């Protein structure tokens, strides 16, 4: 096949693709117009059925809760896989965290980094917990809250040093928290089955006031477990990478 | 066009919202090209972090505040941190 023939073939193919693409585009609904029946159906029922005003959380943790279990285990598997891949190999040794080059002074963390990091750590922990525990009331949820919580630990590393980070987040505790978070979600679903309902059925009292913190039954509980799982998974992943970068040497 | 937003008292005029959304879409497309074309690794990570913020604003303008929160934390903070650590590790090995 000569280059010329190839070019002709490519031209025909790309013209066909462009034609089909434009045809498909012409059939799309107008910008910002949602034609599906699912959204309006959920919006008109969600508060009556769940008492949750955080509709996205109600969808995530109730209407399609089973999908979310799978998604949660993606992160769980990622963190576990990372721990396996980055475990200390036979050819590697862990460098002691003591200063090996005393003659070379490490530049101290600049105040411009240290102060904001110290000042932000507390508020970020608060925001993380608030997000993870208010999935039922406003747009937030366990995933967002968990990641925000994990960034607080990154700030601790930035403002101090790796050893402080490790001291406040021991791997054994993180492993346990991650497992409890992941298993908690599954356990909520299985409890429903044990009570004679479908898997992940919202069997807890839904509360009196729509959008109150105490409303929505299992939605709030699952969000809490997801928050634990996600925060622990992200801190594990970042801690593992910090350890790889700072402590592990080949040789 | 009658949307849910149009019925609320604090609704932004549709034309203004459309302009904002289209502007953000163009910015995000341009930002993606800018990130991919960056050659310096450190600069790339910083660009990626900024791009995460831009994406978060886009999601917010498209009425997805929950996705905004995820993108802000994962795209603008955690992913750049992971990349920075990987770069530091590679650099150390090269020494």
The model's pLDDT over A54-109, given as tens digits with 9 standing for 90+, comes to: 888 999 999 999 999 999 999 999 998 988 888 777 777 766 655 555 666 667 77
Chain B residues with CB under 8 Å of a chain A CB are 1, 3-4, 18, 21, 65-66, 69-70, 73-74, 77-78, 81-82, 85-86, 88-89, 92-93
What is the pLDDT at residue A74?
Answer: 92
Q: What is the ipTM of this complex?
A: 0.79
Distance from CA of A149 to the nearest CA of B (A): 10
**By three-state DSSP, how is residue A248 classified?**
strand
Domain membership flag for residue B88: yes
Q: Do A144 and B69 touch (CB under 8 A)?
A: yes
**Closest in B77, B86, B93 to A151, CB measured:** B77
Q: Do A242 and B85 touch (CB under 8 A)?
A: yes
Question: Mean pLDDT throughout A139-152?
Answer: 90
Residue-number span of the structural domain to which B82 is assigned: 12-94
Over the stretch B25-84, which tens digit does the pLDDT of each residue have? 999 999 999 999 999 999 999 999 999 999 999 999 988 998 999 999 999 999 999 999
A190-206 exposure pattern, b = at least 16 Cβ within 10 A, e = fewer? ebbeeeeeeebbbbeeb
Tokens of A93: 């040794």
- Residue A212: band (very low, low, confident or very high) from pLDDT cuts 50, 70, 90: confident
Distance from CA of B33 to the nearest CA of A (A): 22
Q: Whole-model pTM?
A: 0.82
Question: Mean pLDDT throughout A205-221?
Answer: 84
Question: Mean pLDDT throughout A154-167?
Answer: 82
Into how many domains does chain B fold?
A: 1
Q: How many CB pairs under 8 A join A and B?
A: 54
Distance in angstroms (rounded) separating the CA atoms of residues A59 and A159: 38
CB atoms within 10 A of CB A239: 22
On average, the pLDDT of chain A sits at: 87
Closest CA to A230 of A63, A62, A68, A56: A68
What is the pLDDT at residue A251?
Answer: 46
- Residue A7: band (very low, low, confident or very high) from pLDDT cuts 50, 70, 90: very high
Q: Do B69 and A131 touch (CB under 8 A)?
A: yes
Question: Mean pLDDT throughout A4-30?
Answer: 94
Domain membership flag for residue B78: yes
- Residue A129: band (very low, low, confident or very high) from pLDDT cuts 50, 70, 90: very high
Q: Is the pLDDT of residue A113 over 80?
A: yes
The residue written with tokens 């050659």 in the block is: B39
Q: Is the pLDDT of residue A176 over 80?
A: yes
Residue of higher predicted confidence among B83 and A34? B83
Domain membership flag for residue B54: yes
- Would you give the end-to-end CA distance of chain A in angstroms? 52
Q: Indicate the Cα dihedral angle B59, B65, B68, B73, nearest 10°.
A: 180
User: H-helix or E-strand containing A131?
Assistant: helix A111-133
Q: Do A151 and B88 touch (CB under 8 A)?
A: no
Q: Do B82 and A242 touch (CB under 8 A)?
A: no
Contacts of B94 in chain A (CB under 8 A): none
* Residue B71 contacts residue B52 (beta carbons within 8 Å): yes
Distance from CA of A91 to the nearest CA of B (A): 14
What is the pLDDT at residue A138?
Answer: 85
Domain membership flag for residue B2: no
CB proximity A137 to B under 8 Å: no
Domain membership flag for residue B48: yes
Contacts of A32 in chain B (CB under 8 A): 1, 3, 18, 21
Tell me which residues of chain A, numbers 150 to 179, contact chain B at a CB-CB cutoff of 8 Å.
150-151, 154
Domain membership flag for residue B5: no
**Closest in B18, B69, B82 to A140, CB measured:** B69
């Amino acid at each position: 096949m000569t280059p010329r023939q190839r070019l002709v073939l490519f031209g025909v193919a790309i013209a066909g693709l462009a034609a089909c693409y434009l045809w498909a585009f012409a059939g799309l609904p107008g910008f910002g117009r949602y034609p599906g029946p699912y959204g309006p159906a959920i919006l008109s029922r969600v508060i009556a059925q769940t008492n949750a005003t955080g509709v996205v959380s109600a969808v995530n943790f109730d209407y399609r809760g089973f999908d979310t279990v799978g998604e949660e285990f993606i992160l769980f598997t990622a963190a576990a896989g990372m721990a396996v891949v980055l475990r200390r190999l036979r050819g590697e040794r862990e460098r002691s965290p003591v200063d090996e080059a005393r003659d070379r002074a490490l530049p101290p963390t600049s105040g411009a980094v240290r102060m904001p990091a110290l000042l932000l750590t507390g508020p970020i922990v608060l925001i993380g917990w608030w997000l993870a525990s208010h999935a039922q009331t406003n747009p937030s949820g366990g995933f967002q809250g968990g990641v925000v919580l994990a960034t607080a630990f990154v700030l601790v590393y930035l403002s101090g040093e790796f050893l402080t980070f490790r001291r406040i987040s021991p791997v054994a505790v993180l492993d346990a928290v991650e497992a409890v978070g992941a298993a908690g979600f599954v356990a909520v679903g299985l409890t429903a089955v044990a009570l004679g309902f479908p898997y992940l059925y919202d069997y807890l009292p839904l509360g009196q006031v729509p959008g109150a913190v105490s409303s929505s039954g299992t939605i709030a509980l699952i969000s809490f477990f997801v928050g634990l799982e996600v925060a622990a998974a992200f801190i594990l992943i970042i801690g593992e990478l910090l350890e790889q970068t700072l402590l592990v040497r080949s040789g | 066009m009658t949307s849910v937003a149009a019925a609320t008292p604090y609704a932004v005029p549709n034309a203004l919202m459309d302009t904002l959304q289209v502007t953000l879409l163009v910015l995000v497309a341009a930002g993606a090209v800018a990130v991919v074309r960056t050659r310096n690794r450190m600069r790339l990570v910083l660009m990626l972090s900024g791009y995460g913020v831009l994406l978060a604003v886009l999601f917010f303008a498209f009425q997805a505040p929950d996705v905004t929160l995820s993108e802000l934390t994962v795209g603008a903070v955690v992913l750049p941190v992971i990349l920075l650590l990987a770069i530091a590790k590679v650099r150390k090995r090269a020494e």
